[in-house]
Structures are given as C-alpha cells and as structure tokens.
Amino acid sequence: MPIGFVRDATRRSSAARVVHSVVALAALTIAACSTGSPSGPADANILSKRDGVAVGPSGLEQRLVTRVEAAPVGSPFRASVFVTSTIVNTGSAPVRLTYRSCDFIDADIETTADVARYGTLRLCATISPTIDLAPGASTEPEEVGFGVRSAPGTYTVKLRQALSPEFRAETSFRVP
C-alpha cells in the first residue's frame, strides 16, 4: 500500500473523528461488559443447567434457571451457582403482585448447600414493588449467585421472589 494512501486515510474530518471515537468507545464498553459467552465468564465451564417451576395462586408461576460453573482458579469455592427467577402470569386475568425486583434478602433463600452469597452493588428505585401483572406478562429476571463450599453432590435451592401472594420455587444443582 502506498504511504500516501495511509496518510490520507488517517486524515479525518471532525465528524469522522467523533464517529470513530464513539464506535471505539462502544466496542470497548461491549468488550468490558461482556462475559465472554452467553453463559458465563470466558474461563468458566458450565457444569450443569437446570430449570425449576413453582405454580402459585391465580395462574402465577415462578420459573427458575440454575447455572453451575466451575469456580475460578484460586477460589475457595468448588463451584459457582447462579439462580435466575422470573414470575409469569399464565392466567387469564391480571394478578396483583408484590415481588422482589432488586436483590433477594437472606429470608428469600433456602439451600441445602454450604454457600457464600456473592454480593451485588446495585442501586434500585424500588426493591419490592406492587404491580398488576397482566395475563402473559412476566417480571424482569432477578439473579442471585453463590460460591459453593459443599462436597460433590446434589443440592437444592428454594427461592422466594413473590412476596404477595407468597410462594417459593425450588430447583436442584449438582457439584461435581
């Protein structure tokens, strides 16, 4: 490639420099916020993925998706477990619902495993809103993560996202 062509390509108008900067910043942001794969960090191995469903009153369902990943190298944990909960109105009428929308509290979680909960640094406008959940609608997914210290085996997690009407969903996970 002739050197003059390279020089000409590097001369940009102010608008082109701004567009280039915005695109570069967006790419950097995406790369920095990316988890490396749709399922977890690039250095993690998905060990298992399971679902749980609890049927509540008035056509409500709490759906859980559980993801078990290898613990990071040097971690004091055997595995990392992430549980995502969503409440869905499968009924034919709106349902008044108070639910956890930002961070579960300890009283919302029961598990048979020896775990340490991963902390979150989130600011929320509301933690437990009350809404009329329309038929076919769902809440935004809410996730909680744990470092698991337990020996290899199968364990359960019960999670309460619906506060009124109150019910819990349960799922299991396996630590290899």
128: three-class secondary structure by DSSP: coil
Q: Residue 9: which residues within 8 A CB-CB, separation 6 or more? A: none
Q: In this structure, is the dihedral angle defined by the CA atoms of residues 172, 77, 35 and 121, taken in order, positive or negative? A: positive
pTM score above 0.85: no
Residue 51 near residue 29, CB atoms below 8 Å: no
Where are the domains positioned within the chain?
3-33, 46-175
User: Token pair of 30, please?
Assistant: 């995406």
Can you give the pLDDT of all 176 residues of the chain as single tens digits? Answer: 232 222 333 333 443 333 333 333 333 333 333 333 333 333 334 444 558 899 999 999 999 999 999 998 899 999 999 999 999 999 999 999 999 998 898 999 999 999 999 876 667 777 899 999 999 999 999 999 999 999 999 999 999 999 999 999 999 999 98
CATH code given to domain 46-175: 2.60.40.10
